[in-house]
Amino acid sequence: MKYKIIIIYLIAINIIGIIVNIADKQKAKHGKWRIPEATLWTIALLGGSVGSYATIKTIRHKTKHKSFMIGFPLIISFQCAIITFLLFKTEFGSF
C-alpha cells in the first residue's frame, strides 16, 4: 500500500514534467512567454526527472543547454540511489 502511493505520485509528477516541457517547447516555437527554467528544474527535483529528460531528448528541447543534458541525468542517478537505498533499508532492515 505504501509503495502504491509513491508509484502514483511518481507517475503523476513525470506526466506533469512531460506536459510542461512540451508546453515550453511550443511556447518557444511561437515566441510566447516561456516557462521559467526554475520550474523545469523543480519538477525534475520533485521526481519528474525521468519524464522530463525523456521528453527533452525526444522533442529536442533544451538539448543545447549543458546544464539540462548533464543535470537531469545526475538527478535521475541520485533519485535512483535514494530509492534503492530506501528499498534495501525497508526490505532488509537498517544497515
Question: Where in the chain are the domains?
Answer: 2-92
**Confidence band for 47, pLDDT divided at 50, 70 and 90:** very high
Tell me the pTM.
0.84
The mean pLDDT value of the chain amounts to: 91
Instruction: Report the C-alpha gap between 76 and 14 in whole angstroms.
Output: 12
**Confidence band for 75, pLDDT divided at 50, 70 and 90:** very high
Look-up of cell digits 542517478: 77
pLDDT in tens, 14-44: 999 999 999 999 999 999 999 999 999 999 9
Instruction: Report the C-alpha gap between 1 and 10 in whole angstroms.
Output: 15
